[in-house]
Structure 1
Amino acid sequence: MDELIKTFHIDWKLLVAQIVNFGIVLFVLWRFALKPLMKIMDKRTREIEKSLDDAKKIETNLMMSERAREEKIIEAKQSAVRILTEAREQAKDQGQNLIDSAKGEVQTIVAAAKEQMTREKTKMLEEVKGEVSQLIVKATEKVLVEVADAKLDQQTINKVLRDLD
């Protein structure tokens, strides 16, 4: 080994000093450069992982929101169809009710008109009977004045009136 030391001109004192210097430089680099750099890299790694997790959560929430929106659209369409169907049925029912009501009113009006016509016909017949009976009475009076007395006139008039009723 002595030969090796002489051949390479190794100085033990210098070698130990270089090893100590290397250790000091290594400690300083590790303490002041490598350790803070590792902290920064770890912090950055955690931030990136958190951002990726947040992005996944946002994507999941977006998909759920999209599904919910589609479900609400489908539900709204179904509700609209149901409302339209109900509205059509109500309109149809109301139309039928209006038709039935109009028919009822027409029947009421026709019945009232028939009743009015019957009353007017009866009234006209009564008036005609009254006028005819007055004419008969006058004609009979003229004929009977010449033929019979007042008592006979009265009996004849009463008989004619009873026959007319």
Structure 2
Amino acid sequence: MTERSVTHSTFTLERVYDAPVERVFAAWGDPKAKNRWFAAVADGEEPTMEVDFRVGGTERNIYVNGKGGPTFTYEACFRDIVPNERIVLTNHMHRDADRIAVNLVSIEFAPEGAGTRVTLTDHGAYLDDFDRADWREQGTGEELDRLAEELKR
């Protein structure tokens, strides 16, 4: 039998992008853009990100970690959207059949000079030692770094 546990953690990441708020905000809701920076697919793979960007809408991403590795499924629901100001969502992640984390995430957008400051705060419940807050923080930071590349397009 699996030992059951919950580890709680909160982290906040900030990035300043050289793009106006409207453009940075739009990259979160545009399915084609989000596929490029969020899904993190390997060269030659097709992204599987689905985005229905509205309050009550969902997004879903499925990826396999390496050849023959586990399948990770990320599913989120948008709980609040204020255009060009904030997004609040809940998400959960599975590794194969195991639920590994449940999170509440807020993304705040603010002008900073000619650019945009994004503040992302993640409150997580990491389940049964299948996921860890430091792994999620690292992965989220990598997503935000890829968003910078997307905004240069």
Same fold by TM-score greater than 0.5: no
Please state which band the TM-score falls in when normalised by the shorter chain.
under 0.3
Counting strand residues as a fraction of each chain, which structure ranks higher?
Answer: 2
TM-score w.r.t. length of structure 1: 0.17
Counting helix residues as a fraction of each chain, which structure ranks higher?
Answer: 1
Higher relative contact order (CA 8 A, sep 6+): 2
TM-score w.r.t. length of structure 2: 0.18
